[in-house]
Amino acid sequence: MGIFNFFSKPTIPKTHLAEKLTKTRHSFWGKLSKIVAGRSTIDSDVLDRLEELLIGSDVGVATTVKIINAIEQRVARDKYLTTSELDQILQSETEQLLHRLPSSKKDALVITRPIRPHVILVVGVNGVGKTTTIGKLAAQFIGQGKKVILGAADTFRAAAMEQLMIWGNRVGAAVVARPMQSDPSSVAHETVQQGIRSDIDVVIIDTAGRLHTKVHLINELAKIKRTIQKCLPGAPQEVWLVLDGTNGQNAFLQAEAFTAAVSVTGIVVTKLDGTSKGGMVLGIADQFSIPIKYIGVGEKVDDLRIFDPHAFVVSLFQKW
C-alpha cells in the first residue's frame, strides 16, 4: 500500500480527537495554505516557510530540522512533488518520527505484580493541571476495577491538598494528607505504607512544583523517592511529568528542569483543547524521548486520554 493511500482516509470520527484539537488544527492549516498558495512544486522557498511555520507552531527547532530534512530527502528522491502532496508528506514524516520513539499507546499503565502497589509519582509546576490530572487518573483506574489511594505530598499549597481530597471523595479513592508545611516525604511514605496494608493496586502521589529554587526541587524529589524505596523497594515504578499544552516553548524548559531533577518515565500533556500550540507535543516527544502517556483535551474525566501517536497525527491533519 502506498504511503499516500495509507493516509488518504481519516481513521477517527469527526466528533472525537480532531474536534478537540480544533484550535491547533485550524491555526496550522490556515498558515500552511498560505505557504502553498500559487505554487505548484515543493521548492526551497516552500520548505523555508514550512520550517518557520513548524517552529512558530511550537514544534521546536531540533524536531523541525528533522522533519524538514526528511522532506528534503523525499523531494530529492522523487524529483518532482507538488504542493498538493505537501500535507500528506508532512503527515507521513511526522507520524514516522513519533513511531521511532518509545511506545506510548499500549503501556500507559503496566502494573508489575512482583512490586505491589504500583506507585506513580506525579511532578510538574503549579498551574499545569497536575492535581486535576491525578484525580482523572484515579477515576479511570477505579473504573477499570483497580483500588487507588492518593498522597497529597504538595504540602506547600493548601489548595492542592483540598483539591485532591475533593477528587478522592468524588471518585472513591482514599487520600493521605497532613497539615500544611509537613514533610512531603513523610506523606509519601505514609501513603505507600497504607497502600501496602490495604492491598492497593495503584498509589498516586502529588508533589510540589516550585521551579524557582531548582536545587531545593531536586533535593525534595530525591528525598521523596528514597523514602518510598525504603518502604517498597523498586518503587516508584513511574514518575510522570505533567506539562501544560498552552505553555508552548515554556513546556520545553519545564521538561528540561524536571528530567534533570528526577528520572521521568512518562509525560502527560494537558489543556490541548484550548490552545493553538499543540505542535509542542511532537517536539516534547522527540527531544526528550520519553513516552507521552496521556493527553488532556477537555474537562471531563474521559477527556484525559491515552496518547495514540497515529490518532493524534491523523486528527492534527484533518482539514474539515
pLDDT band at 10 (very low <50, low <70, confident <90, very high): very low
173-212 pLDDT, tens digit each: 999 999 998 999 999 999 999 999 999 999 999 998 876 4
233-276 pLDDT, tens digit each: 999 999 999 999 998 888 998 999 888 888 999 999 999 998 88
Q: Is the pLDDT of residue 135 over 70?
A: yes
Say whether domain 14-99 belongs to CATH 1.20.120.140. Answer: yes
Based on C-alpha coordinates, what's the Rg of the chain?
21
pLDDT band at 117 (very low <50, low <70, confident <90, very high): very high
pLDDT band at 103 (very low <50, low <70, confident <90, very high): low
Residue boundaries of the structural domains of the chain: 14-99, 105-312
Q: What is the average pLDDT across 100-105?
A: 63
Give the other-Cβ count within 10 Å of 211's Cβ.
15
58-96 pLDDT, tens digit each: 899 999 999 999 988 888 887 666 777 888 888 888 888
**pLDDT for the residue 13:** 44
pLDDT band at 105 (very low <50, low <70, confident <90, very high): low
Nearest to 273 by CA among 25, 12, 1: 25
Kindly list the distances between the CA atom of residue 224 and the CA atoms of 52, 76, 116, in Å, as whole numbers in the listed order: 42, 53, 18
Residue 290 sits at φ, ψ, to 5 deg, of: -115, 130
**pLDDT for the residue 84:** 75
137-172 pLDDT, tens digit each: 999 999 999 999 999 999 988 888 999 999 999 999
**pLDDT for the residue 260:** 84
224-234 pLDDT, tens digit each: 999 999 999 99
275-308 pLDDT, tens digit each: 888 889 999 999 999 999 999 999 999 999 999 9
Cis geometry, peptide bond prior to residue 117 (ω within 30 degrees of 0): yes
31-49 pLDDT, tens digit each: 888 887 777 888 888 899 9
CATH topology of domain 105-312: Rossmann fold (3.40.50)
